[in-house]
Structure 1
């Protein structure tokens, strides 16, 4: 759920004065608000000179929470929605697409887990170029300066030298890059702002039919979340859960495939494990572990979690590092 400072533009009652009042009660996000005693909060608000506006802000937050509750639907409706509206998006790599039964599924959050140089960013760039080549838009949140137009050009089949190709080649590459909307993002609050703006744009149908957003990439999600988990107590974990909730909500409501990357850390048994811990592992619909032998061109892929496939299933792709 959203941090309060990301709601101010859309909800004027959640202004800086209201946020300061909430912060005095250790309330920084909608989730913090839900965990707080509402009666105690209203009593405290009544003591302020702006009590009426503070109470209106509290009721505004309650209405936001009510709006977050999805309508009750049965299993058959879920299945029909899944089969009718949730298509596969090709990653551009035949091996990965075949392994996943078609590629990245719209409406789902897919997570790529792996150490540095395992191929996570390559999959992101290849997927972005493939989707953009099919005249759909991609939102690419780049947290570590890893976005590479040169690699996009390579995946599109063009020279990395933009000026060396003929006019048709340059136009193709230009169109692909124009459809990939890349945002450098360096903290989780900036990402919240961008995701909420995307939600507003999608809800308002600002995007034209030929600019339909089909893929949202966050490379890497762990770079943004890990800093807020260090010494921040429950607030950091609440923000992490809020990130996952918002990404999955965007995916489901707007039939967007969401692709995020996550690094690995050492486990107690000496084996590596996905970062972000137990609270995060339930967020992705699909978790894939990528690995690569030192100096090799093959990327090994194994399923950590999948709604329709057994964990531990593995495959190898040689397409990523050519």
Structure 2
């Protein structure tokens, strides 16, 4: 749920005074507000000189919560929603597109799993450049390890255009692509929550739809944000991990985004490697792809680990 502070710009009644009133009752987010006794809150507001405006703020929050409730849909409604709103976006990687029936589907969370240097970031960069160029859409890219490379974007755009950008006169296509990729440097999970909550607000108010609609959200890598919080004996880290997965899937479904995240490998039993983040995370992505690279041929291989409509074990390959 969104922190109250993130609502201030869109909803003037949720100002600093209202936030201070809520904070005095340990309410810092919409979720805290839902869990609080609203009648008790209104009774406290009645005792204050600014009671009228405080109660208007309470009503504003209640209306925001009502707007978040999605109508119940039957199977036919869901099928029509998929056909009408959940399109497939090419990644620019022929092997992945062929394996997934065209590419990344809007409304779904796709995870790329692989060891270091297997090509996960390259797939992210190529997908970002392809969606920005082919679909004339905006891409939100959360970079957790300073791995976003405009030079690689230029290389991929040049490949698809059959040209090399050497001077200022031929940079038109590249400039349009780079302008369409909104990159955030994010170094902990709380920063990611802030960015995603703000993105949700912006998409709902169509602030980012003035030029190009946002259609792809990339987090490279989700595991580098979550792994540090999983240590210790308490449940907080696990709860934050599940909340992160829920928010990403919620954005994908409600805002018709294709969401692409990367996850590294860790040592497992008997010396074999396995995806990080454990069994609880395993159920979060709709699709999981395992990447490996043959360094002699520089060919990347992709295997389906999980897919809602395709058999596990299907494979494809391509050169990045």
TM-score normalised to structure 2 length: 0.82
Post-superposition Cα deviations, 1:34-83, rounded to whole Å, max 9, x if no partner, equal: 8x7x67xx79x98xx99x99999999888766654432111111111112
Kept in 1, the 8 Å contact 2:288–2:305? The answer is yes
Encode CA deviations 1:59-111: one digit per residue, 9 max, x unaligned. Answer: 98887666544321111111111122111100011111011100000111111
**1:226 and 2:210 correspond:** no
Counterpart of 2:79 in structure 1 is: 79
Deviation at 1:145, TM superposition (A): 0.3
Please say if residues 2 and 239 of structure 1, whose CA atoms lie closer than 8 Å, have aligned partners that are also in contact: no
1:15 counterpart = 2:15: no
**1:124 and 1:219 in contact (8 A); partners too:** yes
**Where do 5+ consecutive residues of structure 2 fail to align?**
none
Return the alpha-carbon distance in structure 1 between the equivalents of residues 165 and 100 of structure 2.
37
Aligned partners of 1:29 and 1:239 also within 8 Å: no
- Which residue number in structure 1 is paired with residue 276 of structure 2? 275
Residue 4 of structure 1 contacts residue 14 of structure 1 at CA under 8 Å; is this kept in 2? no
Cα contact 1:3–1:239 (8 A) shared by 2: no
Alignment of 1:1-322 (within 5 A): 1-2=1-2, 11-12=14-15, 15=19, 18-19=22-23, 22=26, 68-134=68-134, 135-157=136-158, 164-165=166-167, 167-168=169-170, 170-208=171-209, 210-231=211-232, 233-317=234-318, 319-320=319-320
Distance 1:72 1:209 in 2: 30
Count of residues paired in the alignment? 309
Instruction: Name stretches of at least 5 consecutive residues in structure 1 with no aligned partner.
Output: none
- Superposed CA RMSD in Å reads 3.4
Shift of 1:7: 6.1
SS in 1 for 2:271: coil
Classify the secondary structure of the residue corresponding to 1:217: strand
Q: Compute the displacement of 1:267 (Å).
A: 2.0
User: Residues 129 and 157 of structure 2 are in contact (CA less than 8 Å); yes or no, is this contact kept in structure 1?
Assistant: yes
Against the structure 1 CA distance between its residues 85 and 162, is the aligned structure 2 distance closer, same or farther, given a 3 Å change threshold?
Answer: same
Q: Which shows bigger deviation, 78-87 or 235-244? A: 235-244
CA contact (8 A) 1:216 1:256 kept: yes
1:149 positional shift: 0.7
Shift of 1:208: 3.7
Whole-Å separation in 2 of the counterparts to 1:192 and 1:216: 14
Residues 205 and 297 (structure 1 numbering): CA distance in 2 closer, same or farther, change over 3 Å?
A: same
Could you say what secondary structure the match of 1:246 adopts? helix
Q: TM-score normalised to the size of structure 1?
A: 0.81
**Bigger shift: residues 296-305 or 56-65:** 56-65
Change (3 A) 1:188 1:163: same
Deviation at 1:258, TM superposition (A): 0.7
Distance apart, 1:296 and its partner CA? 4.0
2: CA distance, partners of 1:65 / 1:278: 32
Structure 1 residues 274 and 84: CA distance shift in structure 2, 3 A: same
Name which of structure 1's ranges 136-145 and 262-271 shifts more when overlaid on structure 2. Answer: 262-271
Contact 2:99 2:314 in 1 (8 A): no
Describe the shift of the 1:33–1:266 C-alpha distance in structure 2 as closer, same or farther (beyond 3 A). farther
CA distance in 1 between counterparts of 2:219 and 2:115 reads 16
